Amino acid sequence: MTEPTTESLRQKKCLPCEGGVPVIEPEQAASYLSTTPQWKLSDDGKWVCRKVVCKNFVEVMGLVNQIADLAESDGHHPDLHITGYRQLKIDLTTHAIGGLSENDFILAAKIDQLLD
């Protein structure tokens, strides 16, 4: 497997997943996480998350809407949690396989690009 880069992930499109795709194991996830260092692997290795603090509620809602548009265009959808009126927690996992797939890191890299 070729080592992923931030740019190579951003150039890809998420592939439809209805199962049958192998789960990325925590050891493999480390390679992907090197391209998305703001994201943290869950203790069970089944999802990654990133936390963002915005200026205010309007800004966090704008970011949620940008992420929603990006997720819709790629066909891969994160779990988004707003807390404390301006904090956003973004969780990525591939529900169909019960763990991580390359789609999660593709979307993470694209979300990072929104935040750069």
Q: State the Cα–Cα distance between residues 95 and 97, nearest whole angstrom.
A: 5
pTM, to two decimals: 0.92
On average, the pLDDT of the chain sits at 93
What pLDDT shows up at residue 102? 95
> Is residue 56 helix, strand or coil?
coil
21 to 27, 82, 95: CA distances (angstroms): 17, 30, 11
Q: Give the homologous superfamily in CATH for domain 23-115.
A: Transcriptional coactivator/pterin dehydratase (3.30.1360.20)
What pLDDT shows up at residue 13? 87
Is residue 20 pLDDT above 80, yes or no? no
> Is residue 60 helix, strand or coil?
helix
